[in-house]
Structure 1
């Protein structure tokens, strides 16, 4: 099974900070903001490399988000390191420094974790055989 895309539902008032965060943090993984839709019916922002796999969608005003965990493949360990650095510079909070996660069954599992400005746990991971 392959997941085609994923929506992260975010606090509408934090959207500018979140767009800045994702644009910066995902750049080392080869992701950019590919699509921005804002009209009277919807507001969406899609991030990806060749296709918008990850989307930000603002919640209705006065609706609290439910924190989400998203893991994104990185091409190598250096990209995981760069993701972590960029995410922290863009307003993220460290939730796990880059390194091997020995508890994972598939090794080597090199990952880092950052909490975005809305409380979502974003992981960059490199798993090489």
Structure 2
């Protein structure tokens, strides 16, 4: 048996700042906000290219953020560069300039890393065979 799908949930205490960053920075990777739910019971935003696999939701009251690492495939190196540029402009912090990561087993592994306003490490990566 195989897994049909898996969702990644990022909880955010600064939900709108994280959402704004993702709306901008994920565009070069082909990700858009596919679902937005905000009502009296919940607030939830789903991002993806063909299906919303990456979700952000509010951090439950009285809890501390637990930062996560999410790596998203990029179609090419230029998209990695653009992701990095847009993320910094939208309030992300540098966590690794765009470039080849020679320590990775698959090569060439071209990636960039940013930290979102809640401390999550978001990576854009292009691995061409």
TM over 0.5: yes
Could you report, residue by residue, the CA deviation over 1:89-118 in whole angstroms, capped at 9, with x for unpaired residues? 000000000000000011000000000011
> How many residues are aligned here?
127
TM-score, structure 2 normalization = 0.93
1:1-129 correspondence to structure 2 within 5 Å: 3-11=5-13, 14-129=14-129
Work out the CA distance in 2 between the residues paired with 1:113 and 1:48. Answer: 18
TM-score, structure 1 normalization = 0.93
Work out the CA distance in 1 between the residues paired with 2:108 and 2:122. Answer: 19
Work out the CA distance in 2 between the residues paired with 1:42 and 1:26. Answer: 23
Which runs of 5 or more structure 2 residues have no equivalent in the other structure? none
SS at match of 1:67: coil
Bigger shift: 94-103 or 26-35? 26-35
Which runs of 5 or more structure 1 residues have no equivalent in the other structure? none
User: How big is the shift at 1:43?
Assistant: 1.3
